[in-house]
Chain A
Amino acid sequence: MAKIGVFIETDKDEVKKTNFGAITAALDGGKNEVVALLMGVDANSAQETLAAYGAQKIVQVTVDSADLTASPDLQARALADAIQHFALEGLIGLASARGRDVFARLSAFLNVTLASDCVGINFEDKTVRKSHFSGKTIATIKLNSDLLLCALRPNAIEAQKALADSQVESYAASVDAPGLVKVLEVKKGDTAKMDLTEADVIITGGRPIDAAENYKMLEECAELLGAAVGASRAAVDAGFAPHSMQVGQTGKTVSPRLYIGCGLSGSVQHFAGMKTSKVIVAINTDKDAPIFQKCDYGIIGDMFEVVPVLTEILREQTGQ
């Protein structure tokens, strides 16, 4: 049995749901012992949710007289110290923007191999599976360091409940050097909007959305689906949506259980960011659009007609 840490990401003092899949991965069907590491939030408040997925130890990592959220270097160093203190054989996390950054800092600091944006881990032979070439190939990579560091693509591994007896602990990490990089300001995005990488369901509007205000139509539908709204690069470049909504190679990489693409041609670069979705639905006026060759279900039709009907039907079903 290996002792594996999971770096828990939080948002507005809450544990992000996507961490649960990372705990499931770390637990490896009960073969490993999982230590959850948190920063900046109260571990007690997170205990119940994390233990439900199998975290046996929930540790709040702090650094005396320093604000850990003020420097990503400091966070990486505190994690390095915690790994040693708890004798962890591996640390798993999420390949979100923050996770990618912290894991890369940590691996570089420790001189340990790392794979980011992985869709699978095998603890026995220390291999991971991850995308190469914009999702066109999957690489199996061996991580040759003693310590296994891996950041997982959010939602790539389905979370499974596995209630564990858990303890909460606090650990004051000792970090000798201050970070070289300092956070000056954090400007929160639109808090009403769901983060794309977190979402279980995504509905995306491509170039034919034609105007920023037309995303309202998708937002209404998204609300009933419990979905986040995405955009293609063509729509972002045309100024209809902010870059934070872009899905694809130069945008967000997402893996929801349902992806509904409205007015998307099905470009390789868009698919690089959402190909690992469980079910993909396309709504497109052109029956020959390439997207129909690489999705699960299709509706040939105008999204401005189809989406309102979908919204209506969902509304009837949910009785809202």
Chain B
Amino acid sequence: MQIYVCVKHVPDTAATITVVGEAGYNDTACKFIINPYDEYAVEEAVQRVEKAGSGEVVVVTVGPEAAVSTMRAAMAMGAHRGIHVKVEGQFLDSTLTSLALKAAIEQDGTPNIIFTGRNAVDTEGFQTQYRLAAAMNLPVVSEVVNLEINDGQAIVQREVGGGTRETLEMKLPCIIGATKGLNEPRYPKFPDIMKAKKKELKEIDFDQLGLDTSVDQTELLKLEAVPERSSAQIMQGSVREQVNELVRILTEKDKVL
């Protein structure tokens, strides 16, 4: 089984994001991590290959120089090697990202499965996996919480709101967007982290891929900090008095009850 896992290097979800200029942020001030949903993708790929006793898991990242740390983290979880498509700039449109992923994967080998996360927690785009699938003419299902593979068919489950679960079927090769519930990502142990440092990592410059960049793209015009609410108005008195006051405010002032 030849498995590719697309992994993004993103700021920690708990990090403070300080906006710089019109549409940038201070990326030297925050800790970066592997996109949390991509951890489910890496874990699933590694388990599949471990169970099969053969095959290879290749991590593919389109990202800045510093994304190497994220790729090493994925390798510490068990991925065998990595392909790093290096780009400059803090944001790359999802169409270009998917074209870069496609080119990097196709240069390397023939996938049986490509895993991604359901979305990246920085840009929250929810679409790169679909664009990759369309570009490669492969079936795709995202937000997958369960996966079975039988006879070259992938049977997947996803949640579609209200606790409703859908079971879908598609032929391999296919693309799967992983989410919480698919598995429990492992915490790499120290020897795995050390081993990961020696694993093969191929670097390609984005410009070397010769992509057609005249495709329609989104453009980030502005990034603004969302003002936090100020501290809460605290209710006073006995429990009953407090709740009465709250209900009164919600009904009369805010009109939300």
Co-assembled chains A and B? yes
Interface residues of A (CB under 8 A from B): 11, 72-73, 95-98, 100-101, 104-105, 107-109, 111-117, 127, 130-145, 180-190, 193-198, 201, 225, 242-245, 249-251, 257-258, 268-269, 272, 275, 278-282, 287, 291-301, 305-306, 309-310, 313-314, 317
B232 touches A282 (CB 8 A): yes
- Most B Cβ at <10 Å: residue of A96, A184, A251: A184
B246 touches A299 (CB 8 A): yes
**B250 in the interface (beta carbon within 8 A):** yes
**B69 in the interface (beta carbon within 8 A):** no
B218 touches A137 (CB 8 A): no
A144 touches B13 (CB 8 A): no
Min Cβ gap A11→B in Å is 7
Provide the residues of chain A in CB contact with B234, threshold 8 Å: 287, 292, 297-300
**B78 in the interface (beta carbon within 8 A):** no
Interface size on B, residues (CB 8 A): 81
B130 touches A258 (CB 8 A): no
A293 touches B235 (CB 8 A): no
Q: Could you tell me the distance between the alpha carbons of A160 and B221 in the complex, rounded to whole angstroms? A: 29
Provide the residues of chain B in CB contact with A11, threshold 8 Å: 161-162
Provide the residues of chain B in CB contact with A293, threshold 8 Å: 228, 231-232
Provide the residues of chain B in CB contact with A73, threshold 8 Å: 139
B170 touches A127 (CB 8 A): no
Secondary structure type dominating chain B contacts: mixed
Q: Could you tell me the distance between the alpha carbons of A265 and B104 in the complex, rounded to whole angstroms? A: 43
Provide the residues of chain B in CB contact with A201, threshold 8 Å: 256-257
**B48 in the interface (beta carbon within 8 A):** no
B229 touches A189 (CB 8 A): no
Q: Could you tell me the distance between the alpha carbons of A185 and B166 in the complex, rounded to whole angstroms? A: 6
Provide the residues of chain B in CB contact with A198, threshold 8 Å: 161-162
Chain B 225-243: CB-based contact to A (< 8 A → 1; otherwise 0)? 1101101111100011011
Chain B 35-59: CB-based contact to A (< 8 A → 1; otherwise 0)? 0110000000000000000000000
Q: Could you tell me the distance between the alpha carbons of A193 and B161 in the complex, rounded to whole angstroms? A: 11
**8 A Cβ contacts from B156-178 to A:** 158-171
A104 touches B130 (CB 8 A): yes
Pick 22 A–B contacts, CB within 8 A, sort by A.
A96-B161, A104-B126, A114-B218, A116-B125, A117-B126, A132-B122, A136-B16, A137-B17, A137-B224, A137-B225, A138-B223, A139-B222, A141-B220, A181-B169, A185-B166, A186-B164, A187-B164, A201-B257, A293-B232, A299-B239, A313-B244, A314-B247
The 7 closest A-B pairs by CB, nearest first: A189-B163, A180-B139, A108-B134, A195-B162, A298-B232, A244-B163, A104-B130
Min Cβ gap B233→A in Å is 5
**B252 in the interface (beta carbon within 8 A):** no
**B67 in the interface (beta carbon within 8 A):** no
Secondary structure type dominating chain A contacts: mixed
**B124 in the interface (beta carbon within 8 A):** yes
B122 touches A133 (CB 8 A): yes
- Given A249-B13, A300-B234, A141 contacting B169 (CB threshold 8 A): no
- Most A Cβ at <10 Å: residue of B13, B37, B162, B231: B162
Provide the residues of chain B in CB contact with A141, threshold 8 Å: 218-221
Kindly specify which of B80-88, B140-148, B192-200 makes contact with the partner chain. Answer: B140-148
A294 touches B228 (CB 8 A): yes
Chain A residue, CB-CB nearest to B255: A257
* Complex partner residue of B229 from A130, A280, A300, CB under 8 angstroms: A280
B163 touches A306 (CB 8 A): no
Provide the residues of chain A in CB contact with B19, threshold 8 Å: 137
* Complex partner residue of B221 from A142, A272, A278, CB under 8 angstroms: A142
B170 touches A309 (CB 8 A): no
Min Cβ gap B35→A in Å is 11
Q: Could you tell me the distance between the alpha carbons of A182 and B156 in the complex, rounded to whole angstroms? A: 10
Q: Could you tell me the distance between the alpha carbons of A116 and B131 in the complex, rounded to whole angstroms? A: 14
- Given A188-B164, A281-B246, A297 contacting B232 (CB threshold 8 A): yes
Provide the residues of chain B in CB contact with A97, threshold 8 Å: 143, 158-161
Provide the residues of chain B in CB contact with A317, threshold 8 Å: 247
Q: Could you tell me the distance between the alpha carbons of A103 and B32 in the complex, rounded to whole angstroms? A: 29
Min Cβ gap B21→A in Å is 13
Q: Could you tell me the distance between the alpha carbons of A295 and B167 in the complex, rounded to whole angstroms? A: 39
**B112 in the interface (beta carbon within 8 A):** no
